[in-house]
A and B are shown apart, each in its own frame.
Chain A
Amino acid sequence: MTFGGNVAVADASLAAPVGRITGLIGPNGAGKTTTLNACTGLVRPSAGRVLLFGADVTGSRPSARARAGLGRTFQTPEVCAAMTVRENVAIGLEARWSGANPLRQLATGPGRRRAVADEVDEALRACGIAELADRAAAVLSAGQQRLVELARAVAGGFELLLLDEPSSGLDEGETVRFGGILERIVAGGRRGILLVEHDISLVMAVCDSIYVLDFGEMIFAGTPDETRASPVVRAAYLGPDRDEARAAPAARRRR
């Protein structure tokens, strides 16, 4: 992935299987969000492929990828301030169902409306924000807005959710509860999550496997325990002079 000749992310490969929570961590500017954007099609990678359930979606538009089962949330919550929480969550479902079909965008039957209402209620409950359903999204805290985004992705029925720093803005208790929500989402074995996160304790607690990105390069992949023990990861977070292990990727960067 390059921006005007600057390499933002190079040689990063990762796999996020269904039924699991996969973590993607790294220091600021490592290229985590860029990787997510490349996955969802908001930026076009200069090389490499994006496979979604085995199908190559590298050339597809973001909306087509979403219809194929890829949902996401954003680092700055993208909620519609002018709408209620319930409407915001319904949008996920309605957007995916309508897709590119003008007739579906234009009109819905009463049966469909009931089905939407039921799914929305379930998603609100699953994310623990049922009591906020009729509040305007504009008055919510940042943490609550993140939960609304999560509920929207859940209601959309996406098989793979890419969550971009979903726990920032949550306090400690809320983060613990949030981890539980994520685990419940993948519990059925139908959904997978790729979690980009700064809160390492959350990542260590809920992820099945972790990828570590630094300066656009994948420097480590492994289980939470392996990640915790890795000197490479430690060096990436604490600075290049702390450890000899940094020498290798740094040299490659200079080339």
Chain B
Amino acid sequence: MKQLLPFIIVGIASGSVYGLAGVGLVLTFRTSGVLNFAHGATAAAGAFLFYWLHVEHGLAWPLACVVTLVVFGVVGGLALERLTRSLNRASPVAVVVLTVGLLLATQGFLALRFGDAIRYFPAFLPTSGFHVAGVGVGWEQVIGAVVALAGAAGLYAFLRLSHTGRSMRAVVENPTLVQLTGQSPATTARIAWAIGTAFAALSGLLLAPTLGLDATLLTFLVVQSFGACAIGLFKSLPLTYVGGLVVGVAASLATKYITVRPWTGLPSAVPFLILIVVLVAVSNTKLPDAGGRIIVADRRPPRPTGRSVALTIVGGGTLVALPFLVGTYLPLWTNALSTVVIVGSLALLLWTSGQLSLCHLSFAALGATTVGHLTGSGVPWLVALVAGGLVAVPVGALVAIPAIRLSGIYLGLVTLGFAILMQNVVFQSGFMFGTETAVSTHRPVLGFVDGRNDTWFYFVVLAVAVAVVASLLAIQRAQLGRLLRAMAESPVMLATSGLDVSTTKVLVFCASAFFAAIGGGLLVTQYGSIAGLAFSPLQSLLLVAVLGICGTALVRSSVLAAVLIAVLPGYVHALDTNTQQFVFGLAAVVAGLALANRPALAAWFARSAAETEDRVERGPISERVRATRRGDGDGRGRRRPVFAGRGAR
């Protein structure tokens, strides 16, 4: 026990902060229906603001703390509430696109303003300590844990005892009913977002002294609070705080026992392991309703018309002529073709079957490493490429298991957790990137086609990409495509018509993983060597965000997304990566808003639209109720009946 105590103490100190961040996240999620993937970035922004005030401008730390928590909490919270208001009950893709956009924009901005290097964050709390049973405990740790506990407990008491708190809890249960009592759900949401943002900033402040000021690291650490939220089933605030402690202690203990590669990455992935286990165990039925479904393409897959045939011919001609037009930029375009394969496979999942996957590049990584290892041991390149695809198929089936039990944003969270587990653990194994954290291969020579020549290799990738896109189109137009589109809209209808929907989900995940892995194989072949970092969870998030920007068509959106990801940054020399990230993040925020408010979506939601507007927007019902309370009449001292029609007086 004595050996464990230091780990438990560290676990409680960090877990308390995760719990605090988790409580803020659950609060905003439950009152607004939006799961904020940028919660970690908010924490980072809070820590940087404190740094700016305290270190750069010499403001005393208590004052800097207050400004960060109160001013940033309120202003940031109000801004977030306004930004995410239309996301309530919107497609989970819109939520991911907008909040991931916020995350990227925040990180880009912080990197632009403060530079990439990790900065020393001043220890504003006392660094001395005391001993418990021979184990050193820092005052900083104690204060951090107590402050976090006080924050969570204070919020709990506020929700139980105050009038505003009670109406916040009521909004969670039934927003319409709250309007009927004359209160505006929007005001309640604003308060919730302000508290949530302040909690995020506070957790950033508490974590930064030990971690240093690194936007990416802070963002990732606060994302660990997702595990805490899962233990609270995304609804209970006390359980979420306890979940934070559990996550913190489990992760801390894991660092003691797990010291052998490739498992050394596991401790930091423990929160996500907990997230996956809890979510898969409880299934969608026990979790709060996270709102809308993914809207599948709002039109039929196009049948070949004269115009589309002409477009295909022109497009095909351009693709063939491209190597002779773009000069030294050719590798960018080859990269784009591989990316089309990966994005296309994601679009099949997202836009045809309505399944959210935030681990898509993990499949691509499997393809890349298989191609690397197999060609290294003398297997012909084409065989290795197909084998790479096949290796990803059982992994796709594995990811489909949570998809059978979960949907929407929860499926997104579990797949994100899977991507983090893959990166932290499986990537390190000898089967994948191993200790060198990269895998390499050589270009193929297929008969007279010498892949070592860039132009020839372009045509090899073009051939594979065309074959994959043709397969995707064939799937979309065939019976399977119809079943997938129906699954996105009404799985219950399909089940009561006799279809085993679980089998269909496994099929689509397997197919999508297969094609994504082919794309990964193409990428590694082009560059000769590729690092595991290229397939990180953040890149997978980015992929979904870019696809979200590019619309819901299967092929057109994939091509556009691939050009945005692979080609555009190469041509835009003027912007460094941080500026690109910032601009891209802003674009994703706009795209998320557009995705949530698209007229086509409105048409789809037409039946519930009127109801939703009443519920979320400026609260017309509550306005009317308040008007009667105030006794607003027609100016002649008489009260106007509220719900009466013309002539009812």
Q: Whole-angstrom distance between the alpha carbons of A99 and B497 in the complex?
A: 9
Residues of chain B within 8 A of A80, CB atoms compared: 485-486, 489-490, 493
Q: Whole-angstrom distance between the alpha carbons of A102 and B397 in the complex?
A: 13
Per-residue CB contact flags for chain B residues 479-512 toward chain A (1 = under 8 Å, else 0) read 1101101100110111111111101101100000
Contact A74/B478 with A80-B485, A82-B485, A105-B504 known, Cβ cut-off 8 Å: no
A71 touches which one: B478, B490, B492, B497 (CB < 8 A)?
Answer: B497
Distance to closest chain B CB from A77 (angstroms): 9
Q: Are B499 and A82 in contact (CB under 8 A)?
A: no
Known pairs A82-B298, A95-B486. 8 more at Cβ < 8 A? A42-B492, A66-B499, A71-B497, A80-B486, A83-B485, A90-B482, A113-B479, A136-B300
Contact A96/B499 with A82-B297, A108-B479 known, Cβ cut-off 8 Å: yes
15 of the cross-chain contacts (CB-CB < 8 Å) are: A42-B492, A61-B495, A61-B500, A62-B496, A63-B498, A66-B496, A78-B490, A81-B489, A81-B604, A82-B300, A82-B485, A94-B482, A95-B483, A105-B480, A106-B480
Q: Is the CB of A84 closer than 8 A to any CB of chain B?
A: yes
Q: Are B503 and A102 in contact (CB under 8 A)?
A: yes
Q: Whole-angstrom distance between the alpha carbons of A98 and B499 in the complex?
A: 6
Among A66, A67, A99, A105, chain B packs the most CB atoms within 10 A around the CB of: A105
A78 touches which one: B482, B485, B493 (CB < 8 A)?
Answer: B493
Q: Whole-angstrom distance between the alpha carbons of A82 and B500 in the complex?
A: 21
Distance to closest chain B CB from A74 (angstroms): 7
Residues of chain A within 8 A of B498, CB atoms compared: 63, 66-67, 95-99, 156
Q: Are A63 and B501 in contact (CB under 8 A)?
A: yes
Q: Is the CB of A107 closer than 8 A to any CB of chain B?
A: yes
Per-residue CB contact flags for chain B residues 194-209 toward chain A (1 = under 8 Å, else 0) read 0000000000000000
Q: Is the CB of B609 closer than 8 A to any CB of chain A?
A: no
Q: Whole-angstrom distance between the alpha carbons of A45 and B478 in the complex?
A: 38
Q: Whole-angstrom distance between the alpha carbons of A74 and B486 in the complex?
A: 15
Residues of chain B within 8 A of A71, CB atoms compared: 496-497
Q: Are A63 and B500 in contact (CB under 8 A)?
A: yes
Residues of chain B within 8 A of A83, CB atoms compared: 300, 482, 485-486
Q: Is the CB of B299 closer than 8 A to any CB of chain A?
A: yes
Q: Whole-angstrom distance between the alpha carbons of A40 and B496 in the complex?
A: 7
Residues of chain A within 8 A of B483, CB atoms compared: 91, 94-95, 98, 105
Residues of chain A within 8 A of B495, CB atoms compared: 61-63, 66
Q: Is the CB of A92 closer than 8 A to any CB of chain B?
A: yes
Q: Would you call the interface of chain B mostly helix, strand, loop, or mixed? A: helix
Contact A91/B482 with A61-B495, A63-B498 known, Cβ cut-off 8 Å: yes
Lowest 9 A-B CB distances belong to which pairs?
Answer: A96-B498, A100-B500, A95-B499, A66-B498, A95-B497, A78-B493, A67-B498, A62-B495, A78-B490
Q: Is the CB of B178 closer than 8 A to any CB of chain A?
A: no
Q: Whole-angstrom distance between the alpha carbons of A156 and B499 in the complex?
A: 11
Q: Is the CB of A72 closer than 8 A to any CB of chain B?
A: yes
Q: Is the CB of A138 closer than 8 A to any CB of chain B?
A: yes
Q: Is the CB of A87 closer than 8 A to any CB of chain B?
A: yes
Q: Is the CB of A32 closer than 8 A to any CB of chain B?
A: no
- A91's nearest neighbour on chain B, judged by CB, is B486
Distance to closest chain A CB from B491 (angstroms): 10
Distance to closest chain B CB from A88 (angstroms): 8
Residues of chain B within 8 A of A146, CB atoms compared: none
Interface residues on A, range: 35 or more
Q: Whole-angstrom distance between the alpha carbons of A152 and B504 in the complex?
A: 20
Residues of chain B within 8 A of A102, CB atoms compared: 503, 506-507
Residues of chain A within 8 A of B446, CB atoms compared: none
Residues of chain A within 8 A of B298, CB atoms compared: 82
Q: Whole-angstrom distance between the alpha carbons of A63 and B496 in the complex?
A: 5
Q: Whole-angstrom distance between the alpha carbons of A66 and B491 in the complex?
A: 14
A66 touches which one: B297, B479, B497, B603 (CB < 8 A)?
Answer: B497
Among B486, B490, B497, chain A packs the most CB atoms within 10 A around the CB of: B497
Residues of chain A within 8 A of B300, CB atoms compared: 82-84, 87, 136
Q: Are B479 and A98 in contact (CB under 8 A)?
A: yes
Residues of chain A within 8 A of B501, CB atoms compared: 63
Q: Is the CB of B296 closer than 8 A to any CB of chain A?
A: yes
Q: Which of A134-189 contact B (CB under 8 A)?
A: 136, 138, 152-153, 156
Q: Are A94 and B297 in contact (CB under 8 A)?
A: no
Q: Are B494 and A95 in contact (CB under 8 A)?
A: yes
Q: Are A72 and B500 in contact (CB under 8 A)?
A: no
Q: Whole-angstrom distance between the alpha carbons of A138 and B298 in the complex?
A: 10
Q: Are B297 and A63 in contact (CB under 8 A)?
A: no
Q: Are A138 and B489 in contact (CB under 8 A)?
A: no
Distance to closest chain A CB from B478 (angstroms): 7
Q: Whole-angstrom distance between the alpha carbons of A102 and B503 in the complex?
A: 6
Q: Whole-angstrom distance between the alpha carbons of A21 and B604 in the complex?
A: 34
Contact A42/B603 with A82-B485, A84-B300 known, Cβ cut-off 8 Å: no
Q: Are B497 and A156 in contact (CB under 8 A)?
A: yes
Contact A106/B604 with A42-B492, A63-B499, A98-B479 known, Cβ cut-off 8 Å: no
Distance to closest chain B CB from A146 (angstroms): 13
Q: Are A78 and B500 in contact (CB under 8 A)?
A: no
Q: Whole-angstrom distance between the alpha carbons of A94 and B483 in the complex?
A: 8
Among B299, B495, B501, chain A packs the most CB atoms within 10 A around the CB of: B495
Residues of chain B within 8 A of A94, CB atoms compared: 479, 482-483, 499
B604 touches which one: A91, A96, A105, A138 (CB < 8 A)?
Answer: A138
Contact A82/B497 with A90-B482, A95-B483 known, Cβ cut-off 8 Å: no
Q: Are A138 and B497 in contact (CB under 8 A)?
A: no
Q: Whole-angstrom distance between the alpha carbons of A101 and B506 in the complex?
A: 12
Q: Whole-angstrom distance between the alpha carbons of A102 and B485 in the complex?
A: 17
Among A40, A78, A97, A153, chain B packs the most CB atoms within 10 A around the CB of: A78
Q: Whole-angstrom distance between the alpha carbons of A92 and B498 in the complex?
A: 8
Among A66, A90, A95, A97, chain B packs the most CB atoms within 10 A around the CB of: A95
- A155's nearest neighbour on chain B, judged by CB, is B497
A92 touches which one: B485, B497, B503 (CB < 8 A)?
Answer: B497
Q: Whole-angstrom distance between the alpha carbons of A138 and B507 in the complex?
A: 27
Q: Whole-angstrom distance between the alpha carbons of A129 and B501 in the complex?
A: 28
Residues of chain A within 8 A of B507, CB atoms compared: 102, 105-106
Contact A138/B603 with A83-B485, A102-B507, A105-B507 known, Cβ cut-off 8 Å: yes
Q: Are B497 and A91 in contact (CB under 8 A)?
A: yes
Q: Whole-angstrom distance between the alpha carbons of A156 and B496 in the complex?
A: 11
Q: Whole-angstrom distance between the alpha carbons of A92 and B495 in the complex?
A: 10
Q: Whole-angstrom distance between the alpha carbons of A107 and B474 in the complex?
A: 10
Q: Whole-angstrom distance between the alpha carbons of A69 and B128 in the complex?
A: 74
Q: Are A99 and B604 in contact (CB under 8 A)?
A: no
Residues of chain B within 8 A of A99, CB atoms compared: 498-500
Q: Whole-angstrom distance between the alpha carbons of A101 and B480 in the complex?
A: 12
Q: Whole-angstrom distance between the alpha carbons of A102 and B483 in the complex?
A: 12
Q: Whole-angstrom distance between the alpha carbons of A198 and B500 in the complex?
A: 32
Residues of chain A within 8 A of B494, CB atoms compared: 63, 91, 95
Per-residue CB contact flags for chain B residues 454-490 toward chain A (1 = under 8 Å, else 0) read 0000000000000000000000001110110110011
Among B482, B494, B499, B504, chain A packs the most CB atoms within 10 A around the CB of: B499
Per-residue CB contact flags for chain B residues 597-639 toward chain A (1 = under 8 Å, else 0) read 0000001100000000000000000000000000000000000
Residues of chain B within 8 A of A136, CB atoms compared: 300
Q: Whole-angstrom distance between the alpha carbons of A109 and B486 in the complex?
A: 21
Q: Whole-angstrom distance between the alpha carbons of A107 and B480 in the complex?
A: 7
Q: Whole-angstrom distance between the alpha carbons of A78 and B493 in the complex?
A: 6
Among A72, A100, A152, chain B packs the most CB atoms within 10 A around the CB of: A100
Distance to closest chain B CB from A202 (angstroms): 23
Residues of chain A within 8 A of B296, CB atoms compared: 82
Per-residue CB contact flags for chain A residues 101-119 toward chain B (1 = under 8 Å, else 0) read 1100111100001000000
Residues of chain A within 8 A of B297, CB atoms compared: 82
Residues of chain A within 8 A of B603, CB atoms compared: 138
Residues of chain B within 8 A of A92, CB atoms compared: 497
Q: Whole-angstrom distance between the alpha carbons of A106 and B507 in the complex?
A: 8
Residues of chain A within 8 A of B490, CB atoms compared: 78-80
Q: Whole-angstrom distance between the alpha carbons of A101 and B296 in the complex?
A: 24
Q: Are B478 and A107 in contact (CB under 8 A)?
A: yes
- B475's nearest neighbour on chain A, judged by CB, is A106
